[in-house]
């Protein structure tokens, strides 16, 4: 029976249809491998492979052009030096063009979403070496960082080919790093990039803070707990990171021969950035409730009830070091908390197209993040303040008019000093009232408006 699935060592990838390839070769150099003119218009993500099935590359160094098996709707990651599955349209009549499907999934001690050194699968012990008791106590040196070995054993006739590929150009276009492994539930759909980026479509995830050795991501979530987790930079907490080591060339990677039940689990406070959507979170499950997982320090003030954490219902969570919410010049931004029909418990912050910022709510509080000063002071209302000041000024003018005309019985005319003071006060009040009535007193903001 003819072989259907072939293993190929990737020696080059065509990320673009113009310019040089990843190993700095011209695309024209590979067109000679295909005789049909129509097939020489290589699509992006075409791979150049050497067939290593059953040791074929030990005998022949022939390179094969492999189109991506999947259409451009799904473009799989691929780095030179990795091993891929590839097929021919007709295995019995292979022809000159293959189709690569994906990177080969290797045994657990080899498989790595960042980069799989497939040659280890055949020569490296899947268990981490255990030191003898005498070595543990007699040797003053710590265990060497270089414990992932047999990484560059070439599957071709050239013993240095894999090293040349990695050192020559792969390390220049790919970031080798330790990426925590991800434990998915059976019903999850997970998409991972090579450098610690992940999208999970499944159910709510969590972490048991009180026991870093216990994963909360079991099958105990209630029905209706659908979730989408888009996250970058997992594993910044010791409990969720894998053991980082080096290989023979000093490249960092994850030690696949050790494992932890919480490796790769989400940790909302420390993961670099996340967008998280849930369908129906419950406040009865602290391990999964987004409010509890976020561990938010909320504003506090003696004038308000402490914000409730652990709300139920659907959630949309965005967390990162820096957030940007940007609307183009022709648009607007609306942050709205809908009110109950017929009630006034709604709130909104709206950035209108013309540059107006509208803040609306039953009550608006501006305070420091941690306020212990008691009840906050209310802002004044401009119209009422103007009316009050005008009334006070009118009362003072009436008082001055009385002073100027009042004659004390038995003492003659008013005191010259009182008369002069009343005239001066009356004059000054007149000036100020005219300015107030004309809107020339700067107590009214020209940019901030309220009710």
Please say which residue of 378, 402, 417 terminates a domain.
Answer: 378
Q: Which residues contact 290 (CB under 8 A, 6 or more apart)?
A: 268, 276, 278, 281, 315, 317
DSSP H helical segments within 189-335, as ranges? 290-294
Question: What's the whole-model pTM score?
Answer: 0.84
Give the residue-averaged pLDDT of 364-387: 77
Please check whether residue 257 is in contact with residue 290, taking contact to mean a CB–CB distance below 8 angstroms.
Answer: no
What confidence category does residue 207 fall into, taking pLDDT thresholds of 50, 70 and 90? Answer: confident
Task: Classify residue 111: in a domain, yes or no.
Answer: yes
**315 and 351 fall within a common domain:** no
**57 and 146 fall within a common domain:** yes
Q: What is the pLDDT of residue 416?
A: 80
Give the β-pairing of 146-148 and 63-68. Answer: unpaired
Task: Classify residue 249: in a domain, yes or no.
Answer: yes
Please say which residue of 319, 337, 354 terminates a domain.
Answer: 319
Please say which residue of 129, 148, 174 terminates a domain.
Answer: 174
Mean pLDDT, the chain, whole residue set: 86
Rounded distance between C-alpha atoms, residue 75 and residue 68, angstroms: 8
**159 and 206 fall within a common domain:** no
**46 and 164 fall within a common domain:** yes
Which parts of 54-157 are beta strand (E)?
A: 63-68, 83-87, 97-103, 146-148
Rounded distance between C-alpha atoms, residue 127 and residue 110, angstroms: 11
Q: Which of 297, 318, 317, 320 is nearest to 307 (CA)?
A: 297
| pLDDT at position 77 over 60 | yes
Give the residue-averaged pLDDT of 46-74: 92
Rounded distance between C-alpha atoms, residue 229 and residue 334, angstroms: 24
Q: What is the pLDDT of residue 130?
A: 55
- Mean pLDDT lowest among 5-9, 130-134, 144-148, 193-197: 130-134
Give the residue-averaged pLDDT of 150-171: 90
Task: Classify residue 410: in a domain, yes or no.
Answer: yes
For 383-409, the pLDDT digits (tens) are: 888 899 999 999 998 888 888 887 776
Q: Which residues contact 124 (CB under 8 A, 6 or more apart)?
A: 109, 110, 148, 149, 150
Domain that holds residue 432: 382-437
Rounded distance between C-alpha atoms, residue 82 and residue 119, angstroms: 10
| pLDDT at position 305 over 70 | no
The number of beta carbons lying within 10 Å of the beta carbon of residue 360 is 14
DSSP H helical segments within 54-141, as ranges? 56-59, 120-123, 133-138
**143 and 200 fall within a common domain:** no
Residue 404 backbone dihedrals phi, psi, to 5 degrees: -70, -25
Rounded distance between C-alpha atoms, residue 353 and residue 25, angstroms: 51
**355 and 210 fall within a common domain:** no
**221 and 307 fall within a common domain:** yes
Number of H helices, E strands in the chain: 9, 16
Task: Classify residue 346: in a domain, yes or no.
Answer: yes
Q: Which of 444, 437, 440, 435 is nearest to 381 (CA)?
A: 444
Give the residue-averaged pLDDT of 193-219: 87
Q: What is the pLDDT of residue 50?
A: 95
What's the DSSP call for residue 412?
Answer: B
**223 and 110 fall within a common domain:** no
Task: Classify residue 183: in a domain, yes or no.
Answer: no
- More confident of the two residues 450 and 385: 385
For 15-51, the pLDDT digits (tens) are: 888 888 888 888 888 998 998 888 889 999 999 999 9
Give the residue-averaged pLDDT of 201-207: 92
**304 and 218 fall within a common domain:** yes
Number of domains the chain contains: 4
pLDDT cut 70: percent of the chain above it: 90
Task: Classify residue 194: in a domain, yes or no.
Answer: yes
**79 and 4 fall within a common domain:** yes
**257 and 363 fall within a common domain:** no
How long a stretch of residues is the chain?
A: 451
For 111-158, the pLDDT digits (tens) are: 999 999 998 888 877 776 655 444 444 444 444 455 777 888 899 999
For 244-293, the pLDDT digits (tens) are: 888 888 889 998 888 888 999 999 999 999 999 999 998 888 888 898 88
List the Cα angle 258/264/265 in 5-degree steps.
125
**202 and 158 fall within a common domain:** no
Task: Classify residue 256: in a domain, yes or no.
Answer: yes
| pLDDT at position 106 over 60 | yes
Task: Classify residue 280: in a domain, yes or no.
Answer: yes
């Amino acid at each position: 029976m003819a072989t259907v699935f072939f293993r190929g060592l990737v020696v080059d990838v065509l990320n673009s249809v113009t310019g040089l390839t990843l190993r700095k070769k011209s695309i024209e150099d590979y067109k000679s491998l295909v005789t049909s003119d129509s097939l020489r218009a290589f699509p992006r993500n075409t791979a150049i492979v050497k067939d290593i099935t059953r040791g074929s590359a030990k005998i022949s160094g022939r390179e094969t052009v492999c189109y991506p098996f999947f259409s451009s709707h799904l473009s799989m990651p691929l780095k030179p030096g990795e091993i891929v599955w590839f097929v021919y349209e007709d295995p019995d009549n292979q022809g000159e063009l293959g189709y690569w499907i994906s990177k080969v999934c290797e045994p657990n001690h080899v498989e790595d979403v960042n980069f799989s050194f497939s040659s280890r699968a055949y020569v490296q012990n899947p268990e981490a070496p255990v030191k003898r008791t005498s070595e543990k106590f007699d040797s003053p040196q710590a265990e060497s960082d270089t414990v992932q070995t047999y990484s560059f054993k070439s599957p071709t006739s050239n013993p240095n080919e894999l090293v040349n590929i990695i050192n020559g150009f792969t390390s220049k276009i790919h970031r080798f790093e330790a990426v925590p492994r991800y434990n998915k539930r059976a019903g999850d759909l997970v998409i991972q990039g090579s450098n610690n980026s992940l999208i999970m479509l499944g159910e709510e995830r969590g972490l048991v803070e009180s026991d870093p050795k216990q994963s909360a991501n079991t099958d105990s979530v209630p029905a209706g707990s659908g979730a989408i987790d888009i996250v970058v930079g997992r594993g910044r907490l010791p409990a969720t990171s894998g053991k980082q080591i080096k290989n023979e060339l000093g490249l960092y990677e994850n030690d696949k021969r050790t494992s932890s039940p919480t490796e790769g689990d989400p940790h909302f406070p420390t993961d670099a950035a996340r967008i998280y959507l849930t369908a129906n979170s419950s406040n009865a499950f602290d391990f999964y409730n987004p409010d509890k997982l976020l561990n938010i320090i909320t504003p506090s003030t003696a004038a308000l009830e402490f914000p409730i954490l652990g709300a139920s219902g659907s959630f949309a969570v965005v967390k990162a070091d820096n957030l940007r919410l940007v609307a183009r010049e022709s648009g607007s931004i609306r942050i709205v908390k809908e009110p109950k029909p017929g009630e006034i418990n709604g709130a909104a912050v709206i950035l209108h197209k013309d540059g107006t910022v509208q803040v609306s709510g039953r009550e608006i509080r501006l305070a420091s993040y941690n306020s212990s000063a008691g009840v906050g002071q209310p802002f004044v209302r401009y119209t009422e303040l103007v009316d009050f000041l005008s009334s006070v000024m009118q009362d003072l003018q009436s008082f001055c008019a009385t002073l100027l005309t009042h004659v004390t019985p038995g003492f003659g005319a008013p005191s010259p000093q009182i008369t002069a003071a009343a005239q001066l006060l009356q004059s000054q009040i007149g000036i100020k009232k005219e300015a107030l009535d004309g809107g020339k007193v700067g107590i009214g903001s020209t940019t901030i408006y309220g009710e």
